[in-house]
Amino acid sequence: MSEKDEYITMLHGAGGTVMHSLVKNYVLKYFGGSDIEVPLEALDDAAVIDDIVLKSDSHAVKPLFFPGGDIGRIAVAGTVNDIAVLGAEPYALACGFILEEGLPLRDFERILASMQRTCREAGVSVVTGDTKVVEKGNLGGCVINTSGIGRRTEALERNLEVVKKYRSGFEARWILDSNLRKGDRIIVSGTIGDHGLAVLSAQEGLSFGGKIRSDVKPLNRLVQRLLNEVGGLVAMKDPTRGGLADALNELSEKSGVGVLVYEDKIPVRRDVQAACEMLGLDPLEIGNEGKLVIGVVKEKAEEALELLRSTEEGRDAEIIGEVTLEFSGVAMQTLVGGRRIISRPVGDPVPRIC
């Protein structure tokens, strides 16, 4: 098939190699090239211009409501978290609704109420936006775009001073995917795969015992505590589409380092693990909406872990690995003693989770 005969598939929006190829081969071909501190072509979770962090995110969750969350909560938390992982404090959002003809107004109001609650959790406000309605069809009720802005904080400055204490020559002004260096430790703030399995259960009518719920939540207050009270954080991502495997590979590729993780340290709920085994899924590739992958200088890793475990959001946190120059890419030390290559997934196996 020639290029002109190729079409967009669901994989183009599912994280992983297909989506990244779409962005690099098509989007960056026409956009980017701006003279700003963190530009589009850096492909970080947000951009930085004149010390303002800017993010835009679209959400097409199916179904609109699922165990532990809904499209409105994801729309706020997802944008807030993408700003927070650069070290910024989000403070204002714009929101665009594309509503499908036939969406019950009670469902729309339920979504709005959920967004309001999540904004209050995060300490942000929706200050502008837009609404459009399209004909009844395959939209799934509604699609939401949220854009947000964030600013530098004293906590970020303190964090960077701590990094410089342990790493000579460190000059980065933000927490970026490209900041990892040999010896840094990798922390995951909690169990992985919860969100993707919760959405899948709602999509397919599966109960999984009724206990698997989405982890979706805003994490900006937790991030600011880590920056302010511990410091030493150099890189951070929220492992959404493509899950932990995609996030680790992105950090590895952009930093030009290898990442070694330990299978027995990766936190996975037993019911999530069992559901993945039943369905033939890898929990490392399942999307999350309330977790952080954190790169931290080794001298501050245990302190960061202690703070995380003292919070509700991070009670299941673990140091899962370390940065190395022995190889490139991501590898996992398995329980049986071998090493398994963790490749970037083609895409998240659960469609329309965010």
0.75 exceeded by pTM: yes
pLDDT value of residue 12: 82
DSSP state of 52: E
Is 108 part of any domain? yes
Residues 246 and 285 sit within 8 Å (Cβ to Cβ):
yes
Question: Do 270 and 198 share a domain, yes or no?
Answer: yes
Confidence of residue 326 (pLDDT cuts 50, 70, 90): very high
For residue 256, the one-letter residue type is: G
Q: Is 91 helix (H, G, I), strand (E, B) or coil?
A: strand
Q: What is the DSSP string of 159-193?
A: HHHHHHHHSTT---SS--GGG--TT-EEEE-S-SS
pLDDT value of residue 4: 60
- Give the C-alpha separation, 163 to 61, whole Å: 38
pLDDT value of residue 15: 76
pLDDT value of residue 2: 52
pLDDT value of residue 8: 83
Is 348 part of any domain? no
- Identify the domain boundary among 133, 151, 169: 151
Phi, psi of 333 (to 5 degrees): -75, 115
- Give the C-alpha separation, 235 to 177, whole Å: 5
pLDDT in tens, 145-173: 999 999 999 999 999 999 999 999 999 99
Mean per-residue pLDDT, 328-351: 91
Question: Do 85 and 220 share a domain, yes or no?
Answer: no
Residues 348 and 16 sit within 8 Å (Cβ to Cβ):
yes
- Identify the domain boundary among 120, 151, 182: 151
Confidence of residue 14 (pLDDT cuts 50, 70, 90): confident
Residues 343 and 285 sit within 8 Å (Cβ to Cβ):
no
Question: Do 24 and 71 share a domain, yes or no?
Answer: yes
Cβ burial of 101 (10 Å; 0-12, 13-18, 19+) is exposed
Mean per-residue pLDDT, 191-206: 93
Mean per-residue pLDDT, 2-8: 70
Confidence of residue 3 (pLDDT cuts 50, 70, 90): low
Question: Do 111 and 133 share a domain, yes or no?
Answer: yes
Question: Do 215 and 126 share a domain, yes or no?
Answer: no
Question: Do 168 and 145 share a domain, yes or no?
Answer: no
Confidence of residue 13 (pLDDT cuts 50, 70, 90): confident
User: What is the domain extent for residue 65?
Assistant: 3-151
Query: The CATH number of the domain where 210 resides is what?
Result: 3.90.650.10
CA angle 263, 281, 65 (to 5 degrees): 115
What's the structural domain count of the chain?
2
- pLDDT of residue 6 exceeding 50, the answer is yes
Mean per-residue pLDDT, 103-120: 98
Question: Do 203 and 93 share a domain, yes or no?
Answer: no
Name the average pLDDT for the chain.
94
Question: Do 217 and 231 share a domain, yes or no?
Answer: yes
pLDDT in tens, 56-80: 999 999 999 999 999 999 999 999 9
pLDDT in tens, 75-93: 999 999 999 999 999 999 9
Question: Do 244 and 159 share a domain, yes or no?
Answer: yes
Question: Do 129 and 203 share a domain, yes or no?
Answer: no
- Asked which of 4-8, 130-134, 284-288, 342-346 is least confident by mean pLDDT, the reply is 4-8
pLDDT value of residue 218: 98
- Identify the domain boundary among 135, 151, 167: 151
Specify the pairing of strand 89-100 against strand 233-237.
unpaired
Mean per-residue pLDDT, 115-122: 98
Q: Hunting for tokens 């290029």 — which residue is that?
A: 3
Is 350 part of any domain? no
- pLDDT of residue 134 exceeding 90, the answer is yes
- pLDDT of residue 213 exceeding 80, the answer is yes
Question: Do 139 and 243 share a domain, yes or no?
Answer: no
- pLDDT of residue 1 exceeding 50, the answer is no
Radius of gyration of the chain (CA): 20
* Tokens found for residue 252: 């590895």
